[in-house]
Amino acid sequence: MIPPRTNRQVRLKSRPNGIPQAEHFELAAADLPEIADRQFLVRNEYLSVEPAMRGWVAAVANYSKPVGIGEVMRAFAAGTVVASRHPEYREGDAVMGLLGWQEFAISDGSTITRKVYEKDLPLSLSLGVLGLNGVTAYFGLLDVGQPRPGDTVVVSTAAGAVGSAVGQIAKLMGCRTVGIAGGPVKCELARSAFGYDEAIDYKAGGIAEALTRACPNGVNVYFDNTAGAISDAVLAQLAIGARVVICGTASVASWDPPPTGPRVERHLLVKRARMAGLLVFDYQHRYEEAIARLAGWVRDGRLRYREDIVDGIENCPGAIAELYRGENLGKRLIRLSHTN
């Protein structure tokens, strides 16, 4: 190919307190330099949008250094190597990694999460069910949640990119699954597309009563993507020995200062329950193990997924806020159309 001259990028313009909005980003064009020795050029085809991005731009300490003002927004992306001076990456290789919200990325390999080997499946899946969403669901449920056949597994944001996989993996493990989602459309999706035995619309009110009906023997595993009032309701109905997987806190707008809620110690004590946080990056050495199994289930039709793809990099700036407003039905991705 003829190397592109410019590279459109979405950069962090100002630091949000809370959920990043469109105005915190700006779209700009940069010159694309020549690749150096041991570098390669990736043409991004899909850019990912995920709840964790809120943490990546927050000023408060988090897993990783905050994205700097003026820097390309940190993001996972999937694309194809279009030029390489690196011995381990060849033109035509499909890759997924922290390639940023931009059309092209130059990498020395350190930003690559993995090469994508599932060439029979859409590349976009490497950012969703066969990417960190799927891997998060897999290890969060199996390693942290430790479900046993017959357990009741409750999942918040049940129709989301992680939650939809959690529910289906739990069913594959012989569990009964109860999904919590916002609104009748997502609840119907949870049941019909993702096989939840029950779905509870938290926006309809009466979540405590609905949980009691759906979980007559209590909650053995709670896979929590929301925190907040939904968790308060679920924690009150834990079974003895329950495991709570803290995967995300989507319902909490800001942790600076941390919001208050009912204290959890008594639930944990009386029920001898466990709450544990999950960070998927801790499982980096085991990604391929999870993805191989997830891909097998996808090929068999036992693990379904849903994508919500929009075209054009200009949709990036507002995408995190949309995600937190719950407007997408399926994994939110930005697709880039390249003319060269």
**Angstrom distance (rounded) from CA 266 to CA 262:** 10
State the Rg of the chain over Cα.
20
Interaction pattern, residues 125-164, with a copy of itself; x per rule: CB under 8 A: ----------------------------------------
Enumerate residues 38-97 that contact a copy of itself by CB under 8 A: 61-63
Site residues for a copy of itself, 237-256, by CB under 8 A, read 246-249, 252, 255
Residue closer to a copy of itself (CB basis): 220 or 231? 231
Task: Give strand pairing partners of 222.
Answer: 154, 244
Interface stretch with a copy of itself, choices 16-24, 42-50, 151-159, 278-286 (CB under 8 A): 278-286
Q: Which is nearer to a copy of itself, 102 or 133 (CB)?
A: 133
Can residue 176 be called a binding residue for a copy of itself (CB under 8 A)?
no
Confirm or reject binding of residue 269 to a copy of itself (CB under 8 A).
Answer: yes
Instruction: Please tell me whether residue 2 binds a copy of itself under the rule CB under 8 A.
Output: no
Instruction: Give the nearest distance from C-beta 161 to a copy of itself in angstroms.
Output: 17
Residue 46, beta-bridge partner list: 78, 335
Which candidate, 172, 175, 144, places its Cα nearest to that of 294? 172
Nearer to a copy of itself, 103 or 224 (CB): 224
257 binds a copy of itself (CB under 8 A): yes
Whether the CB-CB separation of 76 and 96 falls below 8 Å is answered with: yes
| Calpha distance 187→222 (Å, rounded) | 17
Tokens 């990036």, located at residue: 316
The answer to whether 260 contacts a copy of itself (rule: CB under 8 A) is yes
Q: Residue 143's closest CA among 291, 281, 12, 283? A: 283
Interface stretch with a copy of itself, choices 13-21, 67-75, 81-89, 225-233 (CB under 8 A): 225-233
d(CA 17, CA 99): 24
Report the distance separating Cα 167 and Cα 235, nearest Å. 18
The answer to whether 333 contacts a copy of itself (rule: CB under 8 A) is: no
Q: Which is nearer to a copy of itself, 242 or 290 (CB)?
A: 242
The encoded tokens of residue 128 equal 């969703």
Print burial letters for 115-132: b (CB count within 10 Å at least 16), e (below 16): ebebeeeebbbbbbbbbb
- Considering the complex, what minimum distance in angstroms separates the CB of residue 249 from a copy of itself? 5
Interface residues toward a copy of itself, by CB under 8 A: 61-63, 224, 227-228, 231, 246-249, 252, 255, 257-279, 282
